Structure 1
Amino acid sequence: MPSRGLPYLLLLPATVFLAVFFLYPFTQIAWEAFSGPGGVTLSHFATMVNYWKFPAALENTLLLAVAVVPLQTAMALAMAVLVSKLEKGRDLILYIFTIPLGISDLAAGLIWFAIFQQTGFLNSALHALGVVHTPVIWLGYQSKWVIFLAVMLAEIWRATAIMLVIIVAGMGLIPKEYGEAAEVFGAGPWQRFRRVTLPLLRPSLQTALILRTILAFEVFAEVAALGGTNLPVLMGETFHWQFDLQDGHTAAAFAIVILAISIGFTLLYLRLLRVPKGAGI
């Protein structure tokens, strides 16, 4: 008969890991953000809010997440359905789709920088087609919308595979009998996907959306590679205050804001994609 304490013993390594690598750093960051010479203070948050780049950084971060995550969700679902329908070459296609997953954020940013820079592939292709006669400065400070689009493309190209892997795993847990039964009753492919697959994918979609949205709020390397300081984002300003301005208190305030936004969206996803009790597959 297994010991009653065995489950807690098995959870101990994960608990220690979270305590050392999450709770302890979080406590330090929270103390940095709220502490001052006279004790607890909100002055560091006031410094952050009054910083002239803060509104733009907050807006750009939210816009990137709102623009990228829905597109990635739709693409990951379409790719997962395609992979699940294949009888031959499934593993190969899945492997090809997930290749960008092994590329770092900075490397992805540099790859797309090589496309958009003055001597890059885009200008070369347009010149060969006769569309432009001189190189276009795509990533200049006056073309912030192009930088935004380039960061979007880099994020979509690199990180869609994160959602794809989770969704494919979720589809693998759905019994085929459900779809076959719906087909017998006359449901078409779209109806089976909407009425059978999507509801049963809620747990996987919940996980994929939470993970991807949190990572979207932490976008930094692609922005640094493609736009530098021309496209301020929250994580970039956190880095700026911590390492350039040597102000750890304000940097911690930025980190707390990123964490608060992530928690807010996580709770929203948990609410919207709530799995009814006892509705497991």
Structure 2
Amino acid sequence: MPHERSLRMNRRSPLLDPMRPHLLPWLLILPVTVFLGVFFLAPFVMVAKQAFVVDGVFSLGHFAQVASHWKFPIALKNTLLLALAVVPVQLALALLMATLVTKMRKGRDLVLYIWTIPLGISDLAAGIIWLAIFEQSGFLNSMLVALGLGETPSVLLSYQSPGMVFLAIALAEIWRATAIMLVILVAGIGLIPKEYHEAASVFGASPWQRFLRVTLPLLRPSLQTALVLRVILAFEVFAVVVALGGSLFPVLMSETYAYQFELLDSGGAAAIALVILGISVAFTLVILRILRVPKGAQA
């Protein structure tokens, strides 16, 4: 009798019905779909409406207004230059650090923990830490004076030294966000079977050749993920720039903040936000194209 009761329950359950196995995946992703619909798609539609609707009529007026402002081309150039300067350096450092960590036999977890400490520090806190280094009474000036390389502390972060402002922001971003790529690459290298490296060694491949011919090709999925994530975050840099550069180094996110909270122009802020989204999508597609993973390749 219990066996017959179980069979009847199985027949009534659509998930257990062998004729409807396709329903289970859809039901499993339903909560995520609802979450994205409520907290992403709905706000996105509202932002798009603010950007493209002027006085109840579809218009590109907000985009034209933003693009004609004198700060917009400067903010766009600064954002792109910062991303182009920071991301390649972070990629090279993350590859080097991930390779070193995976080759360590002792202390691996401790070293990885120390290198990922910046992940636990907020953007603003990271900016303040580096401000304490570069400001007039900061660590860098104190060290230069103590070494006899300067008589009095100098103002490093000013409108007269835009290159130093850019360098300070770039260094802070490299220090703060390299660990994001490091974690992804360490996980990717750990998935590469050791037999591939051993086979390459048998055939006389040097460590550099094994890295180029074995590690990098098999690490392509992880590189793809790390680069996409880091490039998107690079275009959204804000707190570090505000802490170190303030209005001396405008970027797209700081202009979005200025339009929304200083100028009280939500339409202009929405327009810049969509510009940032468009740039992020464009660079993401380029990365996915360059680092496309062949079918059947290992993750």
Q: Tell me the TM-score normalized by structure 1.
A: 0.98
Deviations 1:44-96 (A, max 9, x none): 00001100000100000000000000000000000000000001111001001
The CA deviation at 1:4 is 2.6
The CA deviation at 1:19 is 1.1
Among candidates 71, 95, 117, match of residue 99 of structure 1: 117
The CA deviation at 1:188 is 0.4
Q: Which residue pairs with 2:292 in the alignment?
A: 274
Are 1:112 and 2:130 counterparts?
yes
The CA deviation at 1:10 is 1.2
Matches within 5 A, 1:54-203: 54-203=72-221
Distance in 1 separating the partners of 2:41 and 2:287: 23
Distance in 1 separating the partners of 2:240 and 2:261: 18
One-letter amino acid matched to 2:103? K
Distance in 2 separating the partners of 1:13 and 1:73: 34
Among candidates 53, 57, 60, match of residue 35 of structure 1: 53
Instruction: Give the number of aligned pairs.
Output: 281
Q: Which residue pairs with 1:214 in the alignment?
A: 232
Distance in 2 separating the partners of 1:92 and 1:256: 41
Distance in 2 separating the partners of 1:148 and 1:9: 49
Q: Which residue pairs with 1:253 in the alignment?
A: 271
The CA deviation at 1:280 is 2.2
The CA deviation at 1:38 is 4.8
Deviations 1:223-260 (A, max 9, x none): 10001100010000000000000000001000000000
Q: Which residue pairs with 2:11 in the alignment?
A: none
User: Which secondary structure does the structure 2 equivalent of 1:229 belong to?
Assistant: helix
Are 1:25 and 2:43 counterparts?
yes
Distance in 1 separating the partners of 2:162 and 2:45: 36
User: Which secondary structure does the structure 1 equivalent of 2:284 belong to?
Assistant: helix
Q: Which runs of 4 or more aligned residues in structure 1 lie more than 3 Å from their structure 2 counterparts after TM superposition?
A: none
One-letter amino acid matched to 2:125? A
The CA deviation at 1:12 is 1.3
- For structure 1, which runs of at least 5 residues remain unmatched after alignment? none
Q: Which residue pairs with 2:67 in the alignment?
A: 49
One-letter amino acid matched to 1:37? D
Distance in 2 separating the partners of 1:22 and 1:163: 25
The CA deviation at 1:15 is 1.1
Structure whose CA Rg is larger: 2
Distance in 2 separating the partners of 1:75 and 1:14: 34
- For structure 2, which runs of at least 5 residues remain unmatched after alignment? 1-15
Of structures 1 and 2, the one scoring higher in RCO (CA 8 A, sep 6+) is 1
User: Which secondary structure does the structure 1 equivalent of 2:110 belong to?
Assistant: helix
Q: Which residue pairs with 2:245 in the alignment?
A: 227
The CA deviation at 1:24 is 1.0
